[in-house]
Amino acid sequence: MKRTAFRAILPGAAFIFMMHSAVQAHVVCGDRVFPTTLTMDDPGVSDEVSLPTIVLTPTPSAQSNDYGYEWDKTITEDLGFAVNGDYLTQRSPTKNLSGWDNITVTLKDQHPCIERHEHEELTWSVGLIRLIPGTGSAQLRNGGVIANVGSTAPTFYFGKGLGDLAAGYLRPLAITGEVSRVFSDTPSASPNAWSYAASLQYSMPYLQQNVKALHAPQFLMRMTPIIEFAMSSPDVGSPTGTIAPGVLYDASTWQLGAEAIVPANRTTRQVQGTGFIIQFHQFLDAFYKSWFGKPLIDRNLWK
């Protein structure tokens, strides 16, 4: 999601979810294409832009809306960075707040795809995510809507396609995940935390191209039904998280995704209702062959 909904509704733990605004890459591993996910990050780097990412989240006392962007740029073939920003609004009967969230930057390095045998489809990467305090709106910061403490989060990402399963109808399945340890600049004010996320996806393009060609409408064969899970466990306080079922549509140069955002436990339900996210994602390397669409250095650090 870029977890922007949480930043608007959980001010006491906002920094925990900022770390999810990391590189969102369109990862290719063998015959598998891992699409861009909305509430977690994928194990890849690329030249891409997400604009806009819109998150609508009801809370017990207000309606929180988030309008976000993300720009991803490759430094080398396997190393890239990302910059995230969000414009937040909160509307309630007694108070209206709006302004920019803090900026998050990410450095991420992707390991080469592992294909020891046909359809193994395994990839992973490591990243470092930094929430830069003081870069957002003073109004939101004073209102407790965004974090006033910075954080740094080492993160591990992975993706595994299940194309090596015997049953053909299961081979389009894939899982992706990430694990982060979030270190707060001031743990006494905002505690350190563990953050976990995973997705289960069923790729209709993979089914059509690698399992069995179906006589179905083309738009249907470009879809990937998906369910995402995101949880955060602070060292002090109760875990919070969401379940996000939805669908992704992949074209040749862009992707459109939409998901519901459902509270995963009682603690989360106390601060938010079921929301919605929609994102338009553009693959810059599909049509920009200049600086915007290719690595700054034509080299892979793993080779």
Condensed to tens digits (0 to 9), the pLDDT of residues 116-161 reads: 777 889 999 999 999 999 999 999 998 888 999 999 999 999 999 9
- Residue 303: what pLDDT? 77
Q: Could you tell me what percent of the chain has a pLDDT over 70?
A: 91
Taking the C-alpha atoms of residue 15 and residue 7, their distance in angstroms, rounded to an integer, is: 7
Q: Give residue limits of the domains in the chain.
A: 4-293
- Residue 287: what pLDDT? 76
Q: Average pLDDT, whole number, for the chain?
A: 89
Q: Is residue 14 predicted with pLDDT exceeding 70?
A: no
Choosing among 3.40.50.1110, 2.40.160.40, 1.20.1250.20, 2.150.10.10, the CATH entry for 4-293 is: 2.40.160.40
Q: Is residue 15 predicted with pLDDT exceeding 90?
A: no
Using 50, 70 and 90 to split pLDDT, how confident is the model at 13?
Answer: very low
pTM of full prediction above 0.85? yes
Q: Are strands 79-91 and 103-110 parallel, antiparallel or unpaired?
A: antiparallel
pLDDT tens-digit profile of 170-229? 999 999 999 999 999 999 999 999 999 999 999 999 999 999 999 999 999 999 999 999
4, 100, 105, 197, 256 from 65: Cα distances, Å: 9, 12, 22, 22, 19
Question: What is the rounded average pLDDT of the residues 237-253?
Answer: 96
pLDDT tens-digit profile of 277-302? 999 999 998 777 777 889 999 998 88
- Residue 73: what pLDDT? 95
- Residue 27: what pLDDT? 87
Using 50, 70 and 90 to split pLDDT, how confident is the model at 26?
Answer: low
Q: Which residues of 173-186 are buried (b: 16+ CB within 10 A; e: fewer)?
A: bbebbbebebebee
